[in-house]
């Protein structure tokens, strides 16, 4: 034993039975005997190791020092877990071999004087030892091929192991041996002798396993396939009954259900393979539960179940009109869909994307569409979803695998043709777990979704009958391949008139009902609704409007209960006592014509706004100064406008010396608010030209449009909201780009009937309409 370092220790001793342990090996065993529990507690209390040795007779409950082997293993306790009764499940790791010198005490637990043998010069291998090591590894590889329970990864790790002592102990731990045979190997300290003994055992076990395989093969050939199948099935059923698994649905029932389903042949074959696999494994196997869960889910899917659509256009129109005010384009699209379905029942489901600011009713109209078409309604929110498996499910190789949210929702609604709302599709995220937006490509492509494959399902499912509706606040964050598969319907913000109608017809009634009141209890005047819209909310939708109406009704409810006063009348005189001072005051047109000051129009996420551009000309060096927290695009518009004026100075009667000897300062008030976009181009140019020529601008004129350095006026977006802002500010004339004329024609004439709209293609046409002659 010259290759070992000897160290004497006093350690708690636990005799184990029926199992063997070796250094560098993890072992689970249960402790229930009082002495063993005390030894464990002592080891944990002192934070010391414990000595494990095997009992000679496993049936003995109260062993003495003569009933266990002298040679054992010094172990580190890694984990303790209390299980049923007083039993403790222990996880221990073998460290070194040890030998009992004498037993110090046997009460309340065994404590022994141990010699611990730790390896020294462990990596120094002579030629003789290397040869026996290689022979042993080769024999182990042959054993692994016959045994089949040992994985290729295990064999590979053994092959690459350098340390001879660790290698011999590791190989021993993988062989199915009796405890006394394992003890014999444990007691061989010399690695050369241990390899020799181990090689002999491996060769013998390999030979026995090969003979067993030959016998089994001969028996299998003698028994007919029918007899074998019948015998095994009866055996499995008997075992299942004995173990209490007889209440499971048997495989024949699964096969009967499969035959009734009208599904493609390849899908039936795939499901039958899973049933055959279930046939071959024990009911107590974890895989059996996984397969049964999968089969139950697959058979519950609505492969052929669909709801009968309401194709009555008149009825659908009434429902949509009753539920929502405005949103005419969406309603028209749904009626078109119903008309086509009447003419062509086999038409595939469509994918509609409703895009608009928050609070305009995108989500709620999807529910109304389902009601109008008499379909089931399913909604999932995609906001913040960053895991691809949320959409397409997990593969069943993973523990706890579940189907994706699309297939799971279809399964729950029990039909294969619902209205399916994918809410907030613009807020999908992506990270190392995949890109959910890419996973949606197949589901949202009418040409592909008839064969949508969920990873958990592992077979194709037809989604072509589903009517997908997606919602988004903006299309800028939706990947272009995904956006290309959808029909985008823009829902702009509501006009003040639309908000007024929504509040009067829907919101007040809804809030009264929610708060347990009626119109007999509270009276809210029309003036109050307009006050709330103009001075207490600033939004494209109606969420803030509804909140303020709810606040008024709740405060009124308190007054009714406290003062027993009915009805409560809300008017323009007492609204501030319910909602406080007005929060928003809209800019209004100036009372007099101005020089160097022009009213522009801007689009924001909560609607249109007026934007005043001020210009001063002062002595300087011909520089352009920009203030008001302008963005890069807006700054470039100002530079382009001044460039045009300099190039055409003679045309407008501006002396070139004036441009060289003066600075131009452009300022947009409310400097704390960032401003950007090209639509203020003509506004800035007109203001600069007014200041340089000392010409007045009409007080009731507003404008919007992009400018080029050649003086052309280019189109802009958000025109409806901008025109509403102009109307609200008391503007009478609005100058817009000629190319925006189709956008104006789409707007309801009631909205802009008081506005004189001038169309311009060049800056000269803008000046003609804006400058006071």
679 as an active site residue: the answer is: yes
- Can you give the pLDDT at residue 107? 86
Beta bridge partners of 597: 614
Dist CA 561 CA 553 (whole Å): 12
pTM: 0.58
Q: Could you tell me where the beta strands, DSSP code E, fall in 277-424?
A: 351-355, 377-381, 419-423
Q: Are 335 and 412 in the same domain?
A: yes
- Residue pair 635/675 in contact (Cβ under 8 Å)? The answer is no
The Cα–Cα gap between 329 and 312 comes to: 19
Assigned token pair, 257: 């259900």
Q: Are 214 and 180 within one domain?
A: yes
| Phi and psi at residue 756, to the nearest 5° | -95, 110
The 3-state secondary structure of 175-200, one letter per residue? CCCCHHHHHHHHCCCCHHHHHHHHHH
The backbone torsions φ and ψ at residue 11, rounded to the nearest 5 degrees and listed phi first, read -135, 150
Kindly give, in sequence order, each residue whose CB lies less than 8 Å from that of residue 651, ignoring residues fewer than 6 positions away: none
Residue of 605, 591, 600, 609 lying closest to 638 (CA atoms): 600
Whether residue 528 is contained in a domain is answered as yes
The pLDDT assigned to 586 comes to: 58
* Residue ending a domain, choose from 220, 239, 257: 220
Buried residues in 574-609 as b, exposed as e (16+ CB within 10 A): ebeebbeeeeeeebebeeebbebbbbbbbbbebbbb
**Through-space distance between the first and last CA atoms of the chain, rounded to whole angstroms:** 116
Residue 585 lies in a domain: no
Helix/strand/coil for 324: coil
Q: How far apart are CA 735 and CA 749, in angstroms?
A: 17
- Residue 284: which residues within 8 A CB-CB, separation 6 or more? 243, 245
Q: Kindly state whether residues 376 and 242 are assigned to the same domain.
A: no
Question: Cα–Cα distance between 337 and 341 in angstroms, integer?
Answer: 6
Distance CA 116, CA 629 (A): 78
Q: What is the CATH number of the domain that holds 100?
A: 2.30.130.40
Number of H helices, E strands in the chain: 29, 26
Q: Are residues 114 and 43 in the same domain?
A: yes
Question: Which residue has tokens 């053994």?
Answer: 158
Q: Is 485 inside a domain boundary?
A: no
Task: Indicate the residue among 579, 610, 631 that finishes a domain.
Answer: 579
149 with 293, same domain?
A: no
CATH number of the domain encompassing residue 514: 1.10.8.60
Whole-number Å distance between alpha carbons of 467 and 415: 12
531: region left, alpha or beta (phi > 0 left; psi from -120 to 50 alpha): alpha
Report whether 666 contacts 687 (CB < 8 A): yes
Residues of the chain short of pLDDT 70, as ranges, are 1-3, 121-124, 220-230, 233, 237, 240-241, 243-252, 282-284, 347-349, 431-434, 584-591, 605-607, 671-672, 751
The answer to whether residue 479 sits within a structural domain is: no
- Host H or E run for residue 116: strand 110-119
Clarify whether residues 758 and 697 are in a common domain: yes
Q: Are 246 and 240 in contact (CB under 8 A)?
A: yes
Model confidence pLDDT, tens digit, residues 50-93:
999 988 888 888 888 888 888 999 998 888 888 877 788 888 88
**Do residues 144 and 289 share a domain?**
no
Tell me if residue 560 falls in helix, strand or coil. helix
Element (DSSP H or E) covering residue 611: strand 607-619
CA distances, 700 to each of 609, 720, 755, 756 (Å)? 15, 18, 10, 10
Q: How far apart are CA 626 and CA 688, in angstroms?
A: 12
- Residue 28 β-bridge partners: 91
The pLDDT of residue 122 is 57
Are 164 and 230 members of one domain? no
| Interhelix angle 313-323/362-373, nearest 10 degrees | 150
Distance CA 159, CA 137 (A): 7
Nearest-angstrom CA–CA distance, 698 and 683: 13
**Rounded to the nearest 5°, which phi and psi values hold at 385?**
-65, 125
The partner residues of 610 in beta bridges, in order of sequence, read 601
Q: Do 709 and 613 reside in the same domain of the chain?
A: yes
Supply the pLDDT for residue 144. 82
| β-bridge partners, 569 | 523
Q: Which of 679, 690, 727, 769 is catalytic?
A: 679
Tell me the CATH number at 703. Answer: 3.30.230.10
374: CATH: 3.40.50.300
Q: Does residue 349 fall inside a structural domain?
A: yes
pLDDT digits (tens, 9 = 90+) for 455-465: 888 888 888 88
Separation of alpha carbons 390 and 557, rounded Å: 44
Q: Which two tokens stand for residue 134?
A: 């290689």
Query: Is the distance from CB of 191 to CB of 129 less than 8 angstroms?
Result: yes
Residue owning tokens 């592909």: 448
Residues 644 and 738 in one domain: yes
State the total domains in the chain: 6
What pLDDT shows up at residue 665?
A: 93
| Among 690, 722, 727, 769, the one annotated catalytic | 722
Q: Is residue 306 part of a domain?
A: no
Q: 10 Å Cβ neighbour count for 629?
A: 14
415 in Cβ contact with 309 (< 8 Å): no
Upstream peptide bond of 655 is cis (omega within 30 degrees of 0): no
The answer to whether residues 318 and 444 belong to one domain is yes
Backbone angles phi, psi at 28, to 5 degrees: -105, 135
Which of 562-568's residues contact partners 24+ apart within 8 Å by CB, and which partners?
Answer: 566/520, 566/521, 567/520, 567/521, 567/522, 567/523, 568/521, 568/522, 568/523
- Residue 722: active-site member: yes
Give the DSSP H or E segment for 133: helix 127-147
Instruction: Please state whether beta strands 88-105 and 594-595 pair in parallel, antiparallel, or not at all (unpaired).
Output: unpaired
362 within a domain of the structure (yes/no): no
504 and 425 in a single domain? The answer is no
Structural domain span for residue 324: 313-356+368-472
Joined tokens for residue 190: 């010399």
Question: Is 394 within 8 Å of 402 (Cβ atoms)?
Answer: yes
Going 616 to 622 to 628 to 632, the CA torsion angle's sign is positive
Evaluate whether residue 379 is within a structural domain.
Answer: yes
Instruction: Pick the last residue of a domain from 579, 613, 635.
Output: 579
């Amino acid at each position: 034993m010259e290759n070992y370092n000897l160290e004497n220790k006093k350690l708690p001793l636990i005799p184990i039975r029926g199992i063997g342990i070796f250094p560098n090996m993890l072992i689970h065993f249960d402790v229930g005997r009082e002495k063993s529990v005390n030894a464990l507690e002592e080891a944990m209390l002192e934070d010391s190791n414990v000595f494990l040795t095997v009992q000679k007779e496993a049936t003995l409950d109260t062993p003495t020092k003569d009933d266990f082997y002298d040679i054992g293993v010094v172990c580190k306790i890694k984990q303790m877990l209390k299980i049923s009764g007083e039993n403790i499940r222990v996880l221990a790791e073998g460290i070194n071999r040890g030998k009992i010198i004498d037993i110090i005490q046997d009460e309340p637990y065994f404590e022994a004087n141990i010699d611990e043998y730790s390896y020294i010069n462990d990596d120094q291998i002579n030629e003789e030892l290397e040869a026996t090591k290689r022979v042993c590894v080769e024999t182990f590889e042959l054993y692994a091929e016959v045994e089949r329970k040992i994985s290729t990864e295990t064999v590979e790790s053994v092959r690459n192991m350098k340390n001879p002592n660790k290698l011999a102990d590791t190989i021993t731990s993988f062989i199915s041996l009796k405890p006394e045979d394992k003890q014999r190997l444990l007691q061989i300290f010399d690695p050369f002798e241990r390899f020799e003994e181990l090689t002999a055992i491996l060769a013998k076990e390999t030979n026995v396993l090969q003979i067993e395989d030959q016998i089994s093969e001969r028996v299998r050939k003698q028994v007919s396939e029918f007899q074998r199948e019948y015998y095994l099935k009866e055996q499995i059923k008997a075992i299942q009954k004995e173990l209490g698994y007889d209440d499971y649905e048997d495989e024949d029932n699964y096969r009967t259900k499969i035959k009734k389903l009208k599904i493609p042949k390849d899908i039936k074959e795939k499901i039958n393979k899973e049933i055959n696999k279930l046939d071959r494994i024990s009911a107590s196997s974890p895989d059996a539960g996984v397969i049964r869960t999968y089969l139950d889910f697959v058979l519950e899917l609505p492969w052929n179940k669909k709801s009968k659509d309401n194709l009555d256009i008149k009825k659908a129109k009434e429902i949509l009109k009753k539920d929502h005010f405005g949103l005419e384009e969406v309603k028209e699209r749904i009626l078109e869909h119903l008309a086509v379905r009447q003419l062509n029942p086999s038409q595939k489901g469509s994918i509609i994307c409703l895009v608009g600011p928050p609070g305009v009713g995108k989500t709620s109209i999807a529910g109304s569409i389902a009601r109008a078409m008499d379909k089931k309604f399913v909604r999932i929110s995609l906001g913040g979803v960053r895991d691809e498996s949320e959409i397409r499910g997990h593969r069943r190789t993973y523990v706890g695998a579940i189907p994706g949210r699309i297939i799971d929702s279809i399964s729950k609604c029990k039909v294969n043709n619902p209205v399916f709302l994918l809410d907030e599709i613009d807020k999908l995220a992506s990270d190392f777990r995949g890109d959910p937006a890419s996973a949606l490509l197949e589901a949202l492509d009418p040409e592909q979704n008839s064969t949508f494959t969920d990873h958990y399902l592992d077979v194709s499912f037809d989604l072509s009958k589903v009517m997908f509706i997606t919602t988004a606040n903006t299309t800028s964050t939706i990947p272009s391949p995904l956006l290309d598969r959808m029909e985008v319907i823009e829902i702009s913000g509501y006009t003040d008139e639309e908000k007024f109608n929504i509040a009067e017809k829907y919101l007040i009634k809804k809030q009264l009902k929610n708060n347990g009141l009626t119109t007999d209890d509270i009276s809210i005047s029309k003036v109050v609704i307009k006050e709330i819209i103009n001075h207490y909310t600033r939004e494209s939708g109606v969420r803030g409007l509804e909140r303020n109406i709810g606040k008024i009704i709740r405060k009124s409810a308190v007054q009714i209960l406290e003062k027993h006063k009915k009805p409560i009348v809300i008017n323009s005189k007492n609204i501030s006592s319910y909602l406080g001072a007005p929060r928003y005051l809209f800019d209004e047109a100036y009372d007099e014509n101005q020089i160097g000051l022009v009213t522009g129009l801007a689009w924001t996420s909560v609607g249109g706004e007026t934007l005043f551009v001020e210009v001063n000309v002062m002595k300087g060096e011909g520089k352009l100064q920009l203030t008001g927290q302008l963005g890069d695009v807006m700054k470039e518009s100002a530079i382009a406008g001044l460039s045009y004026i300099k190039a055409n100075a003679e045309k407008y009667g501006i002396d070139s010396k004036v441009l060289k000897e003066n600075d131009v300062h452009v300022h947009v008030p409310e400097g704390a608010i960032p401003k950007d976009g090209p639509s203020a181009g003509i506004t800035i140019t007109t203001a600069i030209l007014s200041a340089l020529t000392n010409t007045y601008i009409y007080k009731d004129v507003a404008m919007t449009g992009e400018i080029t350095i050649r003086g052309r006026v280019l189109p802009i977006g958000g025109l409806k909201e901008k025109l509403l802002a102009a109307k609200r500010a008391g503007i009478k004339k609005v100058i817009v780009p000629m190319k925006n004329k189709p956008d104006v024609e789409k707007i309801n004439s009631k909205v802009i009937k008081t506005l004189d709209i001038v169309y311009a293609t060049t800056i000269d046409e803008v000046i003609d309409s804006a400058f006071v002659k």
